[in-house]
A and B are shown apart, each in its own frame.
Chain A
Amino acid sequence: MIQLEHISKIYPPDVRGLRDVNMHIRPGEFVSIVGQSGAGKTTIARLLIAEERPTRGKISIGGWEITNISRRDIPYLRRQIGVVFQDFKLLPKKTVYENVAFALEVATVASSRIREIVPQVLKIVGLDEKGKRFPQQLSGGEQQRVVIARSLVHRPKVLIADEPTGNLDTISMREIIDLLEKINSFGTTVVLVTHNREVVNALRRRVITLSDGRVVSDQAEGKYLLPT
């Protein structure tokens, strides 16, 4: 599903984000990418949605080589990947429903389809009762679930979540992880970026550990390794 071959990313002028990273993620997998701050986790997420381009190497998603994707094609790529990013918030002046619908409107989806899809995804994240609320009337965990709902509107084959549990308490964190597992159980490939040890250890899924831009371990049923 996701294939990175000899990927290096150098941010101008000479910051090494990633060095010769290789990974292959199969359809339906649930993979955690872990590592300390600055290890290059977010860089991988950005490369996958073509927000950045690799300096060297090859990336493909679902058989589509996106290494040198044209600007015109980027919107189509992004409609196939759900993204949950730290700096990718809800719009405060729109309701929960409108925030989710917005992602469909801007992709020029017909209004009748929007009225079908939005309640469905809100139901998946358990917020079908709270569509009329505004973001500040929700808890942090609920807000994050709206963000996940929004990432699901195009029925993505891949969901990329960068630190989705960032500022959440343990219970909300647990809810988010459960939600990601539920989405994964529908067949969506999930890539979870985190530096939270508890989360990773509780999941018992594949873990790829990054350190200083390199893959230092890749375990099928991994634990969060503390870098020595």
Chain B
Amino acid sequence: MSFFVTFWRIFLAAWKHFTRNLWLSLTTIFVLILALLSVNVLIGVNVLLTHATQNLENKIDVSVYFSPSTTPAVLEQARFFMSGLPQVKSAQLLTANEALAAFKARHAGDKKILGALDELNENPLGATLILKARKTDNYPFLLKALKNPQFDFAISSQNYEDHANTIARVQSVSRSVQLFGAGLVLIFILFSVLIVFNTIRVAIYTQREEIGIMRLVGASSSYVRLPFVFEGIFLALIALVFTGTIVVALSAYIDPRLASVFDGANPGLSAYFVGNALILTITEGIALASLVGFSSWAAVGKYLKR
């Protein structure tokens, strides 16, 4: 007796159960989709919040303004020293002219400031060194490192915007979303297990004559059981395919609409779900199939006591 033939017979039986109670199967799939969606919405919200935090962290920098009279040698020394520190991710040196251009660009709409600048005949700005740290908590160290006698005499002022409050707010939102989301996911999972259990019980009820005969003619327990477990796994896989499609479509729809929140950058929802499609599908598939499979297995148990 080949394994394949047995497998095929069990598969056919499972397919028959599925179609016999089509409406029930469809509602079960619907509930499973809701459960999977709740998980993926939670994942998506987390992705957005992580990206939002990263976005904010990327904005943090220290601008070091040098007095206009600073010699290029001192500027270069400052840049060289700072960029050599392991905590520094980037050290960008803007010349006086570049600093002026950047300043003008920042205040492009402001006639008063631009007018005042034009009245001055020379560039009032000196060179600017823009520093970014690898981690947000490296900034205090960077500020200390700037007190280097080799160039600190040339620093006219410095500007450190840490966005600390905003970041703290985003992180606290993340935490409550995770807590609330986890509760929601748990509830959906509980519902799906109960509903799958019920669906399989109904399937068993409609098959009770076959089951009685199978047992009396000497079918093994697993032969009776497996079609129902397969049926549960069928339902799970169909729900998985639908959910995958919905998630991909939904994230493609949401991305451009959230771009404004990210200063015009792509929120990266779609990229995340497409990039992690395989691993997400496999983990969610295995988790759901084993939950559903176990639930179906338990549902048949009662009928196999004798």
Task: Looking at the assembled complex, report how far the CB atom of A82 sits from the nearest CB atom of chain B, in whole angstroms.
Answer: 9
Within 8 A of A (CB), among B9-26: 9
Within 8 A of A (CB), among B72-95: none
State whether A78 and B210 are in contact (beta carbons under 8 Å apart), knowing that A71-B221, A106-B223, A109-B1 are contacts in the complex: no
Task: Decide: A91 and B209 in contact? CB cutoff 8 A.
Answer: yes
Task: Looking at the assembled complex, report how far the CB atom of B136 sits from the nearest CB atom of chain A, in whole angstroms.
Answer: 62
- Is B213 part of the binding interface, using a Cβ–Cβ cutoff of 8 Å? yes
- Is A107 part of the binding interface, using a Cβ–Cβ cutoff of 8 Å? yes
Chain B residues with Cβ under 8 A from A111's Cβ? 5
State whether A105 and B221 are in contact (beta carbons under 8 Å apart), knowing that A78-B216, A89-B209 are contacts in the complex: no
Rounded to whole angstroms, the CA-CA distance of A109 and B6 in the bound complex is: 9
Chain A residues with Cβ under 8 A from B221's Cβ? 71-72, 75
- Is B254 part of the binding interface, using a Cβ–Cβ cutoff of 8 Å? no
Task: Looking at the assembled complex, report how far the CB atom of B77 sits from the nearest CB atom of chain A, in whole angstroms.
Answer: 83
- Is A176 part of the binding interface, using a Cβ–Cβ cutoff of 8 Å? no
Within 8 A of A (CB), among B211-229: 212-221, 223-224
- Is B306 part of the binding interface, using a Cβ–Cβ cutoff of 8 Å? yes
Task: Decide: A91 and B218 in contact? CB cutoff 8 A.
Answer: no
Chain B residues with Cβ under 8 A from A102's Cβ? 210, 213, 217
- Is A192 part of the binding interface, using a Cβ–Cβ cutoff of 8 Å? no
Tally of chain B residues near chain A (CB < 8 A): 21
Partner of B219, one of A50, A106, A110: A106
State whether A110 and B217 are in contact (beta carbons under 8 Å apart), knowing that A51-B306, A91-B210 are contacts in the complex: no
Q: Which residue of A lies closest to B212 (CB)?
A: A88
Task: Decide: B217 and A106 in contact? CB cutoff 8 A.
Answer: yes
Chain A residues with Cβ under 8 A from B218's Cβ? 74-79, 106-107, 154
- Is B165 part of the binding interface, using a Cβ–Cβ cutoff of 8 Å? no
Rounded to whole angstroms, the CA-CA distance of A103 and B306 in the bound complex is: 18
- Is A228 part of the binding interface, using a Cβ–Cβ cutoff of 8 Å? no
Task: Looking at the assembled complex, report how far the CB atom of B301 sits from the nearest CB atom of chain A, in whole angstroms.
Answer: 12
Can you list, as one digit per residue, whether each of A160-198 has a CB less than 8 Å from chain B (1) or not (0)?
A: 000000000000000000000000000000000000000
Task: Decide: A107 and B5 in contact? CB cutoff 8 A.
Answer: no
Task: Decide: B217 and A107 in contact? CB cutoff 8 A.
Answer: yes
Rounded to whole angstroms, the CA-CA distance of A89 and B216 in the bound complex is: 11
Rounded to whole angstroms, the CA-CA distance of A163 and B73 in the bound complex is: 112
Rounded to whole angstroms, the CA-CA distance of A103 and B210 in the bound complex is: 10
Most B CB contacts (10 A, CB to CB) among A49, A52, A105 go to A105
Task: Decide: A78 and B1 in contact? CB cutoff 8 A.
Answer: no
Q: Which residue of B lies closest to A105 (CB)?
A: B9
- Is B2 part of the binding interface, using a Cβ–Cβ cutoff of 8 Å? yes
Rounded to whole angstroms, the CA-CA distance of A150 and B219 in the bound complex is: 14
Partner of B217, one of A51, A72, A87, A150: A150
- B residues adjacent to A (C-beta < 8 A): 1-2, 5-6, 9, 209-210, 212-221, 223-224, 304, 306
Can you sample 19 A-B contacts with CB below 8 Å? A52-B306, A71-B304, A72-B220, A75-B219, A75-B221, A78-B218, A79-B218, A85-B216, A88-B216, A91-B213, A106-B219, A107-B217, A107-B219, A108-B220, A108-B223, A110-B5, A150-B217, A154-B217, A154-B218
